[in-house]
Amino acid sequence: MATVTEPRRQTRKAFQTKLLINGQWRDSVSGKTFATINPATEEPIAEVAEGDATDIDLAVKAARRAFDTGPWRKTDARDRGRMMNRLADLIEQHIDELAELETLDNGKPIQESRNADLPLVIDCFRYYAGWADKIHGQTIPIRGNYFCYTRREPVGVAGQIIPWNFPMLMIAWKWGPALAAGCTVVLKPAEQTPLSALRLGELALEAGYPEGVINIVPGFGETAGAALVAHPGVDKLAFTGEGRTAQIIMRGAADSLKRITFELGGKSPNIVFADADLEAAVNGSLLGLYLNQGQCCCAGSRLFVQDTVHDRFVDQLAAKVKARKLGDPFDASTQQGPQVDQAQFDKIMSYIAKGRDQGAKCVTGGERFGNKGYFISPTIFTDVKDDMAIARDEIFGPVLSVIKFREIEEVIERANTTDYGLAAAVWTRDIGKAHAIASRVRAGTVWVNCYDVFDAAAPFGGFKRSGIGRELGEKALDNYTELKTVTIALD
Ligand code: ADP
C-alpha cells in the first residue's frame, strides 16, 4: 500500500496499488511497477503493480473458475442484486475519499468528481442491482406438441478495458450489467488512472463478492490489454476508448470470436438555431464541450450556429469561456483542471496549431495555462470550415470549433458529414426542427435543448465509427447474456 503525500487529501492515508486476482491483492509476477502521475503537478503519486500477459492469464483463470465452479454460479439473482446495492452503499459511505482519489489521479475538478461522477456511479450500480432478478426469458408457442421457452444465461467471463476520462463511471457502466447478469469480470483500467479502480476492488470485496468474481489488472494496453483481448478464456470483451485501438482489438478478438461491444470517439454536432433560448444554448454549449476538460467522447465539439445569431452567440460564449476558473483541481471553485497527461496535452496543442495554420480564428485561449501541470486555456475557434482538421478529428480537449450555417437542410447534411455518430444536440423553440434533427442526424444520442444528460436507464452508444452496441439501460444486459432456447416434447 502506498502512502499518500498529497496535502489536500484528508479522508484516507493509504490506498491499494496491487493487482486483484482471485480475491487476493498481489504483486505482478514480473515484479514490475509503473508510476501513476498527478496531472496537476506532473509528479508521481504512487507506483502501481504492472500486470502483463502472465497476470492476465492468472486473472482470467480465476474468473473462469469463479464462473464455472465457484459459489457465484449458485448465488440467487436477488442476492446478486443485494450485493450490488451493498457496493453502492459502500461507495456512498466513501464518496468524499473516492472523489478525491479520482481528482488526484485524473485531474478533474473535485466539484465534478464529487457532484457528477460519483453520484452517477452510485446510481448506475443501484439501477443494475434492480435488474439482477428481472432478467428472464419467455415461453414461446411453437408449432407442435412442445413446450418451448428461453433462458437468459450469463455470457461467462467478461474482459473489460476502460479509458481514463471517467475512470469510476466507466467501471460502473461495465460492472453493473455484467455482475447483475451473473458474469465474472477481469478489468483492465487505463494506465493513466488505475487508483480508483483498485479502491473499488477493495469495496467490492467488502460488499461480499466471492473470490475471482471481480479481478483487476492495471497495466498497459499493448501488454495487459492485448493479452485480455486474445485470451481464449474470455467470452466477451467490452472496450471504451479510441477507434484505432478498437480496430486492433477487433483483430485480436477474431481468433476466439469473442462477443464485443465498443464505445468509441465522436465529433458531435451541437446545432444552435436562431430561434433558440440563446442563454440556455450558450450554457449548454459550454457544458457540452468543456466538461471534464473536453475529455468526453460525446463532446459537442462541432458547434453549428445559425448565421443571424452567430456573432452575438460567440460573444456571449467567449465571455463565459474567458471567465472559467482554471487551477488546482482540489479547490472547490475550480471549473477546469489539467488534461490527463503529457501525450494528451501535446496532441491538443498540435490541433490548436493546425487550427491556426489552416486559417481558423482563435477567439480565446489557444495556449498553455501556467507552467506546471497539463493545463490548457479553454479555446474557441471561429471561421472553421468543415474540412479543417479541428472540424474533422476528435481533439479530446478544451477546443471548440464554431461553424456558421444558414438553413436546416444544409446543417443536417453537414452534421452528418463525419465518420462518427455518437451524439448530437439541437437548440430551438421550433418542435418541427427539433424532430427533424432528432430523426435525421445519425447519432446514438440526440439532446434537444439540453446537453450531457445521462441516466443509467437510458442507452448510450454510437452509430457508424463511434461504436458497436449500447451501454446502460436494459439494453446493456444483452451484452452480458446468452439466450438459450429449450424445447421439450410433451408426449
Ligand atoms: P486513449 O488514447 O484515450 O488512452 P486508448 O484507446 O488508447 O485511448 O485507451 C483506452 C484503453 O485501451 C486503455 O485502458 C488502454 O490501456 C487500452 N489499450 C490501448 N491499446 C490497447 C491494445 N492494443 N489492446 C488492448 N487494450 C489497449
Assess whether pLDDT exceeds 60 at residue 438. yes
Helix (H, G, I), strand (E, B) or coil at 189: coil
Nearest CA to ligand 1 atom 11: 163
Closest ligand 1 atom, residue 219 Cα: 16
**pTM value surpassing 0.85:** yes
Nearest CA to ligand 1 atom 25: 225
Closest ligand 1 atom, residue 396 Cα: 3
CA of 265 to the centre of ligand 1 (A): 12
CA of 135 to the centre of ligand 1 (A): 31
Nearest CA to ligand 1 atom 23: 222
Alpha carbon distance 460, 456 (integer Å):
9
CA of 191 to the centre of ligand 1 (A): 9
What pLDDT sits at residue 15?
83
Closest ligand 1 atom, residue 246 Cα: 6
Of the chain, the percentage scoring pLDDT greater than 90 comes to 97
Q: Which residues line ligand 1 (CB under 6 A)?
A: 161-163, 188, 190-191, 220-222, 225-226, 229, 241-242, 245, 248-249
Q: What is the DSSP letter of 327?
A: S
What pLDDT sits at residue 178?
98
Closest ligand 1 atom, residue 163 Cα: 10
Assess whether pLDDT exceeds 70 at residue 1. no
- Stretch 47-70: mean pLDDT: 98
What pLDDT sits at residue 207?
98
Assess whether pLDDT exceeds 90 at residue 372. yes
What pLDDT sits at residue 380?
98
Closest ligand 1 atom, residue 343 Cα: 2
Residue with cell 474482459: 159
pLDDT tens-digit profile of 140-192? Answer: 999 999 999 999 999 999 999 999 999 999 999 999 999 999 999 999 999 99
Assess whether pLDDT exceeds 50 at residue 446. yes
Residue with cell 439541437: 426
Assess whether pLDDT exceeds 50 at residue 7. no
- How large is the C-alpha radius of gyration of the chain? 23
Nearest CA to ligand 1 atom 20: 221
CA of 163 to the centre of ligand 1 (A): 7
What pLDDT sits at residue 5?
42
| Sheet strands (E) in 166-325 | 184-188, 214-216, 236-240, 259-263, 269-272, 302-306
Alpha carbon distance 478, 153 (integer Å):
10
Assess whether pLDDT exceeds 50 at residue 10. no
Mean confidence (pLDDT) of the chain: 96
pLDDT tens-digit profile of 149-163? Answer: 999 999 999 999 999
Q: Side-chain half-sphere of 416: how many Cα atoms within 13 Å?
A: 12
What pLDDT sits at residue 491?
87
Candidate of 48, 50, 160, 161 to mutate for ligand 1, largest count of ligand atoms within 8 Å of Cβ:
161
- Stretch 459-474: mean pLDDT: 98
pLDDT tens-digit profile of 381-425? Answer: 999 999 999 999 999 999 999 999 999 999 999 999 999 999 999
Closest ligand 1 atom, residue 189 Cα: 14
Alpha carbon distance 37, 254 (integer Å):
34
CA of 221 to the centre of ligand 1 (A): 5
Q: What is the DSSP letter of 155?
A: -
CA of 106 to the centre of ligand 1 (A): 16
Cβ atoms of 463 and 424 closer than 8 Å: no
Nearest CA to ligand 1 atom 4: 163
Which of the residues are catalytic?
A: 263, 297
Nearest CA to ligand 1 atom 21: 221
CA of 168 to the centre of ligand 1 (A): 16
CA of 155 to the centre of ligand 1 (A): 23
Locate 120 and state its grid cell: 452517477
**Per-residue confidence band for 245, with pLDDT thresholds at 50, 70 and 90:** very high
Helices 167-181 and 95-106: crossing angle, nearest 10°?
120
Nearest CA to ligand 1 atom 16: 221
Helix (H, G, I), strand (E, B) or coil at 190: coil
* 71 vs 11, higher pLDDT: 71
Q: How many CB atoms lie within 10 A of CB 464?
A: 17
Assess whether pLDDT exceeds 60 at residue 284. yes
- Listed in sequence order, the residues at least 6 apart from 448 whose beta carbon sits closer than 8 Å to its beta carbon are 425, 426, 428, 434, 437, 438
- Stretch 128-132: mean pLDDT: 98
Nearest CA to ligand 1 atom 19: 221
Candidate of 245, 261, 297, 394 to mutate for ligand 1, largest count of ligand atoms within 8 Å of Cβ:
245
- Listed in sequence order, the residues at least 6 apart from 157 whose beta carbon sits closer than 8 Å to its beta carbon are 60, 63, 64, 67, 183, 184, 185, 186, 233, 234, 235, 236
Of the chain, the percentage scoring pLDDT greater than 70 comes to 97
Locate 277 and state its grid cell: 433560448
